[in-house]
């Protein structure tokens, strides 16, 4: 399949788990957060909060409650995307809205030549509660996802994920192509 330069930058986004150790600047973090907050949300409620982690002691606690997040200890920063259940349009919408914000953040990091990786928190109660305790969030604010960030110390090839067999035209089972 031929590549389209208008969307190449999206397909080149990969989960980066190895970082150089060089810090990301506050200006870069603000730009990432602007991108995250530019995401669509149901009825424009914007039910998100973001907790920026740069404290090494906090970052090093993450692998203790998340078995797949050992690399967070080496990240420059992590951003925890949280759902404010008081601000969401209706139950469940905050999860969708915060997913869009997290994806915007990942795409912005890629466009800025930063490494980033989505670390799943929700729906694992143990992970949610560990982050709630660590970050002292109010009861109505639920840690949803964590994005590790840093200057990439690895490069990954573009992955082709286009699957025409999963695309249907008008009705199930009618091929798109």
Q: What 3-state DSSP class applies to 151?
A: coil
Nearest to 153 by CA among 59, 37, 74, 64: 74
Q: What pLDDT is attached to residue 101?
A: 98
Distance CA 169, CA 154 (A): 39
Residues of 150-175 as b/e, b for ≥16 C-beta within 10 angstroms?
Answer: bbbeeeeeeeeeeeeeeeeeeeeeee
State pLDDT tens for residues 63-80. Answer: 999 999 999 999 999 999
In the chain, the domains with their CATH numbers are: 13-155 (3.40.109.10)
Q: Residue 142 in contact with residue 133, Cβ under 8 Å?
A: no
Query: How does strand 141-150 pair with strand 48-53?
Result: unpaired
Q: How many other CB atoms are found less than 10 A from the CB of residue 50?
A: 18
148, 71 Cβ separation under 8 angstroms: yes
Residues in the chain: 177
Mean of all residue pLDDT scores within the chain: 96
Q: What is the per-residue pLDDT across 110-129, written as a single tens digit (0 to 9) for each? A: 999 999 999 999 999 999 99
pLDDT 10s digits, 12-33: 999 999 999 999 999 999 999 9
Beta partners for residue 122, in sequence order: none
């Amino acid at each position: 399949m031929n590549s389209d330069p208008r969307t190449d930058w999206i397909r080149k986004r990969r989960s980066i788990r190895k970082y150089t150790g060089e810090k990301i600047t506050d200006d870069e973090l603000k730009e990432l957060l602007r991108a995250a907050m530019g995401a669509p949300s149901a009825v424009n409620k914007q039910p998100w909060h973001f907790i920026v982690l740069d404290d090494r002691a906090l970052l090093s606690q993450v692998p203790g409650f998340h078995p797949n997040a050992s690399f967070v200890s080496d990240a420059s920063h992590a951003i925890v995307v949280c759902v404010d259940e008081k601000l969401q349009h209706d139950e469940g919408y905050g999860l969708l809205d915060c997913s869009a914000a997290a994806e915007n953040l990942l795409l912005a990091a890629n466009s800025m030549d930063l490494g980033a990786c989505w670390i799943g928190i929700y729906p694992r109660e143990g992970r949610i509660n560990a982050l709630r305790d660590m970050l002292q969030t109010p009861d109505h604010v639920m840690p949803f996802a964590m994005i590790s960030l840093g200057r990439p110390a690895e490069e990954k090839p573009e992955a082709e994920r286009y699957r025409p067999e999963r695309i249907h035209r008008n009705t199930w089972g009618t091929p798109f192509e």
